[in-house]
Amino acid sequence: MEKSKFVNTDAEMEVLGAIFIDNVVMKDIIDILKPEDFYNTAHGIIYSAMCRLYIAGTPIDTTTIVHELGESVSEVGGITYISQLVSSSISASNVLVHCSIVKYKARRRMLYSALNQCLLDVKNTDTKNDELIERLENQFKSIEAYETKRDGKLEETAEKYLMLLEQRCKNQGVTGGYATGLKLIDKFSGGFQKQDLIILAARPSMGKSAVALNMAANMTLDNDLKVAVFQLEMNQLSTFERIIANKAAVPMDRLKKGELLDEEWGEVVYKTNSLQSSGLNIYDDVYSLRDIRSECKRLKLKNGLDVVFVDYLQLIENGSDIESRNENVSKISRGLKLLAKELDITVVALSQLSRAPEARNNHRPHLSDLRDSGSIEQDADMVMFLYRDEYYNGDSEDAGLIEFIIAKHRNGETGTIKARWQGKYQRVVA
């Protein structure tokens, strides 16, 4: 490799010389530069000693550095080379510029190393393509974050909070995250927040897939969001038809039979064209957590991504037949939460419930009913149960209603909201 593209020895010497001239500059660079950022090993050793002295409150000069290095002083060229560094810079005023050069070159070397290792793996191993791609993506993510780690200070956070509070006041509580289009839910919950894992859980036939598709369609068609739906139960065509029934207000049974009025045909075509050009992506052939992560990263990079729906959590493959079902589900729920944080998106995962509600007089679900793993509740920022009383009680006073039971809400209230359930359209009106 051409060394000048990856190393700037003069910049490294300027940084160290500047520290000798004015120890105060250490407060500006100690959180920026690491000893391993220096290509020259001796420079890294000397800088590490400088950091230790600064943290201890000891002045940094030739004598203290030699004392701090002890026997290892010979590894850096002895007192002769240290004296050369002291005289290598005449001013500390440009130290941040020189720091940025050293950091840039270090990051360049990391990129070269990652790509070179991947090339060697492609040539010399039988590692699967998907594994190599995921490994490279993770390395790139690590390199990308290398220069942007937070220092714990609150200036940026304080500014973001005031902007968030202003939005809440203007939008009656729904901000920062994304409105689902179900107004009662949005007002109560404050909308779905970025980096949150939201669990939408119910017993079979409660309508959780329909509710999820309601939200997904509203978000992309009404709010112009980028949404991905990973459908592990239905195929893409069936999923699309459910959304059409909802948005075009044509009963599902008439769509199935092909019995449409002329005006309904027009509405179906219009909604079909709208969905075709929207930011909605529906996948029916992605089954593993690794593949879901890879596809989400690809979408985020290519077109942007705001919200992900997974239907449903217990069907996701984790690539291990050895671990127990609970361990597998725990890893999947944790993986989905980490995906939300890493890509700064909302992940909504549908979940089955155990049979426990069936055995109770009051069939409304509890947090303990989450199937296969208690870690689902732990990882989730919000747990929302669905319940339709008419499913169990034919003469229910709540016929035609669906209950949204918010049983956990890390950043808000818990409680129950009732909405109108229009089964023939696969639609919720709230």
* Cα–Cα dist 419/427, whole Å: 10
- What is the radius of gyration, based on Cα positions, of the chain? 29
**In this predicted structure, what is the pLDDT of residue 319?**
62
Q: How many helices (H) and strands (E) does the chain have?
A: 17, 9
Average pLDDT over residues 261-270: 83
- Res. 4: pLDDT tops 80: no
Return the CATH number of 1-149, one of 3.40.50.1970, 3.40.710.10, 1.10.860.10, 1.10.10.10.
Answer: 1.10.860.10
**Does the active-site annotation cover 233?**
yes
- Res. 1: pLDDT tops 70: no
Single-letter code of the amino acid located at 389: D
Q: What's the order of all strands across the beta sheet hosting 346-352?
A: 280-283, 227-231, 307-311, 346-352, 197-202, 382-387, 401-409, 415-422, 427-429
**In this predicted structure, what is the pLDDT of residue 303?**
84
* Cα–Cα dist 328/220, whole Å: 32
pLDDT tens for residues 339-368? 898 888 999 999 888 888 888 888 888 888
| Residue range(s) of every CATH 1.10.860.10 domain in the chain | 1-149
**Mean predicted lDDT score pLDDT of the chain:** 83
Q: pLDDT above 90 covers what percent of the chain?
A: 16
**In this predicted structure, what is the pLDDT of residue 164?**
66
- Res. 322: pLDDT tops 60: no
Q: Identify the residue with better confidence: 187 or 348.
A: 348
**In this predicted structure, what is the pLDDT of residue 199?**
92
Average pLDDT over residues 141-152: 58
- Res. 394: pLDDT tops 70: yes
Structure token digits, residue 241: 């038809």
* Residue 422: other Cβ atoms inside 10 A: 17
- Res. 141: pLDDT tops 70: no
CATH topology of domain 173-429: Rossmann fold (3.40.50)
* Cα–Cα dist 124/126, whole Å: 7
| Residue range(s) of every CATH 3.40.50.300 domain in the chain | 173-429
Hey, what long-range contacts does 270-273 have (CB within 8 A, 24 or more apart)? Answer: 271/244, 271/247, 272/244
Judged by average pLDDT, the poorest of 157-171, 251-265, 393-407, 415-429 is 157-171
Average pLDDT over residues 74-94: 85
pLDDT tens for residues 204-230? 888 889 999 999 999 998 888 999 999
In which band, very low, low, confident or very high, does the pLDDT at 197 lie, cut at 50, 70 and 90?
very high
Average pLDDT over residues 17-27: 88
Catalytic residue among 233, 259, 323, 358: 233
Average pLDDT over residues 368-387: 82
**In this predicted structure, what is the pLDDT of residue 152?**
61
